Structure 1
């Protein structure tokens, strides 16, 4: 069974009223540390009008990439 990937979803407002989702993957885990180093995995090509719309779109991409129960495909 493949191990779980450490994926983060965030939303950035790059210009006022323009929201982009960004998926990032942890590339370095240090045992005993609570911080992680992330690298961008995928990002919205076009902005969304609201934070919530960008967030929902990002979750949809996560589901497409990793399945509804979080398993890698």
Structure 2
């Protein structure tokens, strides 16, 4: 089976009460004491709560990568 990709999900509150999910992917770039990530995808519409944005971000991962997760 192919190797699992390192994908992170975060939520940003850009305006008060407007929460957006963001997917980030780890890069091979080496930084001292840090693992750099680059944006992969993000919400175009806000969610009313942090929890809703988190669930919507997870749903985006499932749509993008299916039941086996993000693999090369």
Q: TM-score range by the shorter chain?
A: 0.7 to 0.9
C-alpha contact (below 8 Å) 1:65/1:72 kept by paired residues: no
**1:71 positional shift:** 4.6
Q: Which has the higher strand share?
A: 1
C-alpha contact (below 8 Å) 1:6/1:25 kept by paired residues: yes
Q: Which runs of 5+ in 2 are unaligned?
A: none
Bigger relative contact order, structure 1 or 2, given CA contacts below 8 A and separation 6+? 2
What is the TM-score of this pair, normalised by structure 1? 0.84
Query: Considering only aligned residues, what root-mean-square deviation do their CA atoms show, in Å?
Result: 1.9
**1:72 positional shift:** 3.2
Q: Which runs of 5+ in 1 are unaligned?
A: none
Aligned twin of 2:66? 67
What is the TM-score of this pair, normalised by structure 2? 0.85
